[in-house]
């Protein structure tokens, strides 16, 4: 089933016009209606037909537990207001994101990332961002039962690109972290992080770059079959020397096993 999140037609008179630009408000409202209307347990493609801008915290999009949604971004974007807190999408069901769009919360200092996955998430492509020093991940895989598959995409600007507590498979993509502990001693991190006892991550390809290090496994299971990993100097001050490892494996949180 495919549902087009059609925009609401513009009002005929100024008196009837909504306070927000109609194409923006219509795209959000139609998207929410399409998700709600999707039959439980049936894969439903929802096509976003306009940019969503200035998202507020109370507008966070939640995919319910029983829904199976393919979100086709159709090259559109979801961006947030300056006072936004959190991530634009929380997935509690089954979600696939495709269509080459952008999900970006970096306009707010409390925009921790793009998607919080609590169940099954597949990312086929697109760009995913958060605020650099908000202390979050562009994609957070939350809980031992969460399953994340990344086929491709660009993951950048957030404190880290992917934080994993469940199972993650990365096939390809570009993952970039620019936090620096000499710029901000309170908030910094590796670009990719395995962070819970049950976490399992397999990397088959991709490019991973970080100032404070590219990939960290402090607990759980970690397997690398391909990819490029590198650490670089601080992007804000070349004199900063806190450049960590391209790959860091250590049992700081618990037992860790790495296969490379």
- pLDDT tens-digit series, residues 30-60: 999 999 999 999 999 999 989 999 999 999 9
Q: Are the CB atoms for 196 and 163 separated by under 8 Å? A: no
Dihedral of alpha carbons 145, 102, 179, 188, sign:
negative
Structurally, how many domains does the chain consist of?
A: 1
Given pLDDT bands bounded at 50, 70 and 90, which one contains residue 185? low
Percent of the chain predicted with pLDDT > 90: 67
User: Do strands 220-224 and 68-72 pair parallel, antiparallel, or not at all (unpaired)?
Assistant: unpaired
Mean pLDDT of 82-99: 98
DSSP string, 110-147: EE--SEEESSEEEE-S-EEE--TTSS-EEEEE-STT-E
More confident residue, 112 or 22: 112
**pLDDT surpassing 50 at residue 95:** yes
Dihedral of alpha carbons 204, 222, 143, 110, sign:
negative
Burial class (CB in 10 A: 0-12, 13-18, 19+), 239: exposed
Segment 187-236, tens digit of pLDDT: 677 899 998 999 999 999 999 998 888 898 889 999 999 999 998 887 77
Confidence at residue 1, expressed as pLDDT on a 0 to 100 scale: 58
Confidence at residue 11, expressed as pLDDT on a 0 to 100 scale: 38
Percent of the chain predicted with pLDDT > 70: 87
- Domain region containing 120: 2-259
Mean pLDDT of 155-166: 94
Mean pLDDT of 64-86: 98
Q: For residue 229, how many C-alpha atoms fall within 13 Å in the half-sphere facing its CB?
A: 21
Confidence at residue 242, expressed as pLDDT on a 0 to 100 scale: 63
What values do phi and psi take at 89, rounded to 5?
A: -130, 135
* Confidence (pTM): 0.88
Q: Quote the CA–CA distance of 29 and 52 in Å, as a whole number.
A: 10
């Amino acid at each position: 089933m495919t549902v087009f999140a059609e925009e609401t037609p513009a009002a005929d008179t100024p008196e009837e016009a909504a306070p927000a630009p109609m194409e923006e408000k219509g795209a959000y409202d139609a998207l929410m209606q399409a998700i709600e209307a999707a039959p439980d347990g049936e894969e439903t493609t929802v096509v976003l037909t306009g940019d969503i801008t200035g998202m507020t915290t109370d507008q966070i999009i939640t995919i319910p537990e029983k829904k199976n949604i393919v979100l086709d971004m159709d090259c559109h974007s979801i961006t947030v207001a300056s006072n936004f807190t959190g991530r634009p999408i929380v997935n509690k069901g089954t979600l696939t994101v495709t269509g080459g769009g952008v999900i970006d919360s970096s306009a707010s200092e409390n925009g921790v990332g793009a998607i919080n996955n609590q169940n099954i998430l597949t990312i086929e492509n697109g760009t995913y961002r958060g605020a650099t020093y908000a202390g979050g991940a562009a994609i957070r895989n939350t809980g031992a039962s969460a399953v994340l598959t990344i086929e491709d995409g660009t993951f950048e600007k957030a404190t880290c690109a992917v934080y994993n507590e469940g199972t993650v498979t990365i096939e390809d993509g570009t993952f970039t972290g620019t936090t620096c502990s000499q710029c901000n001693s309170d908030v910094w991190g590796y670009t990719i992080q395995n962070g819970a006892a049950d976490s399992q991550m397999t990397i088959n390809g991709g490019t991973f770059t970080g100032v404070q290090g590219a990939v960290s496994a402090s607990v759980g299971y970690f397997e690398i079959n391909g990819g490029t990993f590198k650490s670089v100097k601080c992007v804000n001050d070349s004199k900063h020397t806190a450049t960590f490892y391209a790959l860091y494996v250590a049992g700081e949180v618990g037992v860790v096993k790495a296969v490379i």
